[in-house]
Amino acid sequence: MALLSLSSLSPLPPPCSSSLQLHTRISLSPSKIGASSSSSTSQVIKNTPSNLKVVVTRERGKNAKLINALAEHGINCLELPLIQHTQGPDLDRLSSVLSERTFDWIVITSPEAGSVFLEAWKAAGTPSVRIGVVGVGTASIFENLMQSSKQSLDVAFAPSKATGKVLASELPKDGNKRCTVLYPASVKASNEIEEGLSNRGFQVVRLNTYTTVPVDHVDQIVLEEALSAPVVAVASPSAVRAWVNLISEPDSWSNSIACIGETTASAAKRLGLKNVYFPTKPGLDGWVGSILEALRAYDSF
């Protein structure tokens, strides 16, 4: 099976597209959403006090890339992990399923799902697989292995918009033949993907391989500092929920949430948070742009 690089996924025939970029965004709070431009970036650096912090909330050990990217803009971060990943009920089945069955597609919708899948794939003997990812952040999990596993690991598709709904509507299907999909997912993921694919005639096997839970302990001194920070950066709906649960009076907290993408931003809005930002283009650069835009807006209040 031919290898497609992350930078050169070629477009598929309509209605499918393998573009790894977001082209639209949902409407949350128009005056509070956007990705920063180069001019807004310079305004942040010029006007933001040096002690202003961004709270980074991913699982411990997974915040370094964001911290380093923000440091390039002169922004110091406060690390407050809000979530942790734990084993899902179907994790032990994943490697055996990969060993015993062949699927037309493996659908991966988050970096964590990708990491869990790769461990099981190696345990299964690295069988040939064709993978559909939801966006560039998820695709990056496979980047290093793609160089050394050209014959067995093929990241072949990403939807025109980085959401599960669009992925389910655009995943290529070969005519009328039966098309099988393995979907290693979070316990907390909705049924949107398997329902969308099933409605199009795919046969979907979902395995709940991991779940996301709040951290066991939050340092109260760090939390107090986080509550006063202008921007909290979140990378999943679970992180948003964990943050809301930590705030004693959510309505009185009026600083900004900078989300990694549209799904997380939707969750933040549903939970009543204001000043919600997210990028139109997914990935680390877009997320950093939204954080910078949130800081710029905070400085102008």
For residue 263, what pLDDT is reported? 85
Task: State the pTM of this model.
Answer: 0.73
Find the distance separating the first CA and the last CA of the chain, reported in whole Å: 54
Can you say how many angstroms the Cα of residue 281 is from the centroid of all Cα atoms in its chain? 12
Q: What domains, with CATH codes, occur in the chain? A: 54-82+215-300 (3.40.50.10090), 85-210 (3.40.50.10090)
pLDDT tens, position by position, 89-110: 999 999 999 999 999 999 999 9
Q: Does the structure show a pLDDT above 70 at 181?
A: yes
For residue 117, what pLDDT is reported? 97
Least confident of 35-39, 84-88, 135-139, 209-213: 35-39
